[in-house]
A and B are shown apart, each in its own frame.
Chain A
């Protein structure tokens, strides 16, 4: 099971709008990593991609009851598994 799920990890910026993902790892370092953790992006947190900005980026995510927009660079540093 565990080894299988490894294949299905995608970075959050590739999570299709309307889909949910379960946070599996953060590749961000230092301050931006801390900031992500503080937003509640810890292991197994379910995140929903809500909508994309009309200008293409950022994307708004539902994270623990709050709506937070992340730019693609930031979202790319969050690995999720499709729910």
Chain B
């Protein structure tokens, strides 16, 4: 027999999109082999509260939400139960292990090859039948399973009654009912995990000894083939992979399994092997060069084909058998399902996804959130700024007291500290308001409805309806929007959403848009002025949405060519949100996370800004020189050199563009806040601003390179500098073109008195 020793380096070297996940898998294997920790895998359909179970067990803060498909990569955490250390690996949420999406491949390969000691399958008590399909598939791979029926409270609310003891008896594994959100049933779950981990049964004993007849029996013809093939497969693979399961994959010619098997077995093939050879390698590994096994496999395959069961029909038959089995188990286990248990959800959907109210309600909800964010953030922002700038004075005094040179104090206090303080003061309050509100909508289950309402527009742009959600998030913060793109399943549509997220203006850009609108575009003051300002801002938002759709379409027809991949969007049941958890989670996971990244970008940038503004070159500061140099370009675009410099130096956060501009215009050495709108108006007018300058600056505000935090996040999410570059250039080129065309045509036509 060949050496079947697992080589992690080999796993990592595997090409393809799953590379990152493969290496994470390798990491998990390291955890398994490195110590006496018990490795527990957590599997389940999307949206079953799997991540909540994960968080509750490990205490590790990982984001969870009421939209399908949140966890794309494996995350893991650890916990101790009765003195034993456990490592819990959160697998991607999948409906199945049969289809070949990246997520399913990751989950399946982990279960097959990393071989966790226990696999916990989380099921949604309110949607048992659909969830059982995955449970049955996992039980085919390993008998060491604990079934966790979660959302028991939701089921109770809907008056659904289940017989968990019966389910346990049918499946032959422990079944635990939980309400993970309230922490109920988790001790029982840990106990069940401990017991299953303690069982000595290896993977194949179950079906080898015949003590447990397989749960899912296929068509007689298939079973006959399996009777012949399984012992042969076991002879080759030992107890590494469940032989019955592997034999089924061989019969249906599952390429991804065979490929993975070849890699897993670290087979030393010729270096120039192609995919086809890889598959042969996998088949080889199971059937061996032993001609008896190989012949047997071929013979059985052709026998099945002769009975109308070629590989494709076999795939259908296997999937169908599993669904039927799930159906029959659900019928036995569900004691009572009220006729109208979904009536509540349907009633809400009748309103929030209706032709008449769907889109207006959506605008109302989202508009309400933005309004609350912008209005509500004002006061805390001022308070925070006052506090932080008070501290700045103290810091400056401290530098003076220890006799530090003036330039050092300037660079560190007025440069670095003030920029960081500014970013914190302007970013923290809006995010601390926006994220909890947004998380509330997410927790309720409303967001998938937004995707449902708007999908047709995105379909026309060859993008995914869920991009509507990432864009909503982008209105709050583009970096958070980029992270949210993880919810889009297909890589191509995810990339489109990631690259175009910056086209919607974030919280940091709204204040500038509002200020410039009130100064230059709205004549009257008072309520009428406010209404007009709102109309202009709304126009800007609508424009940004259209540009996003246009660019998405452009991308999908050029560098990301291809038809939209298959689209399925689950509209999960509405759930009662848990306010306390929402606040803690959104502040910890989103607000502080984004803020920490922003600070890391702002600190060095603060030093650079200070140096440029203070280092003199002849009569002028370097900043002034640069502005002078950029002035002709700025003029072409309807702006000036200082405005362009402010955009460049504003890369840590869009919020500091205006402060930098004021610093530049007033010749000061550090960031400055406008005393009032009228002071800003006077300063801008003094520097030659007209309505055209304002319009162009606003357009460039909408369409320019993402902030440093967002760029960093794109790098993290795509693992590629190429896409960072594309994300940088695309909006910038758009902005330059727009501003150029508008500035030149306005001047040509002599409009606006220019």
Contacts and interface: CB of A to CB of B under 8 A. Distances in A.
Contact of A53 (B96, B101, B127, B456): B456
Nearest to A62: B342
B673 interface: no
A66 interface: yes
A66 B315 contact: no
Contacts of A43: 320
Given A38-B98, A74-B566, A55 B571 contact: no
A74 B566 CA distance: 7
A57 B456 contact: yes
A62 B346 CA distance: 11
B349 interface: yes
Contacts of A73: 567
B459 A57 contact: yes
Interface centre among A38, A42, A45 (most CB of B within 10 A): A38
Given A42-B323, A55-B457, A58-B465, A66 B452 contact: no
A76 to B, nearest CB: 12
A27 interface: no
Interface in A1-17: none
Contacts of B100: 31, 34
A55 B453 contact: yes
Interface stretch (B352-360, B642-650, B712-720): B352-360
Nearest to A59: B452
Given A34-B98, A42-B324, A66 B127 contact: yes
A35 interface: yes
Interface of B: 95-96, 98-101, 126-130, 133, 315-316, 319-320, 323-324, 326-327, 342, 345-346, 349-350, 353-355, 358-359, 452-457, 459, 465, 564, 566-572
B95 A37 contact: no
Contacts of A66: 127, 130, 570
Interface in A24-83: 31-35, 37-40, 42-43, 45, 50-58, 60, 62-71, 73-74
A58 B130 CA distance: 21
Contacts of B99: 31, 34-35, 38
Contacts of B342: 62, 67
B452 A58 contact: yes
Name which of B345, B454, B459 has the most chain A CB atoms within 10 A of its CB: B459
20 contacts: A31-B100, A34-B315, A37-B98, A38-B133, A40-B129, A40-B323, A42-B319, A42-B323, A53-B452, A54-B355, A55-B359, A55-B454, A58-B452, A58-B567, A60-B349, A65-B128, A66-B127, A69-B567, A71-B564, A74-B566
Nearest to B354: A54
Contacts of B452: 53, 58, 60, 69
A20 B613 CA distance: 70
Contacts of A68: 568-571
A53 B353 contact: yes
A59 to B, nearest CB: 9
B324 A70 contact: no
A69 B569 contact: yes
Given A51-B353, A54-B453, A71 B459 contact: yes
Given A54-B354, A58-B465, A67 B345 contact: yes
A54 B569 contact: no
Q: Which of B359, B454, B570 has the most CB of A within 10 A?
A: B570
A37 B566 contact: no
Given A42-B319, A42-B324, 13 more contacts: A37-B98, A37-B323, A38-B98, A39-B568, A40-B129, A57-B459, A58-B567, A63-B130, A66-B130, A67-B570, A73-B567, A74-B566, A74-B568
Contacts of A31: 99-101, 566
A37 B130 contact: no
B455 A51 contact: no
Given A31-B100, A58-B567, A65 B130 contact: yes
Nearest to A51: B353
A31 to B, nearest CB: 6
B320 A37 contact: yes
A33 B99 CA distance: 9
B353 A38 contact: no
B61 to A, nearest CB: 29
A43 B165 CA distance: 30
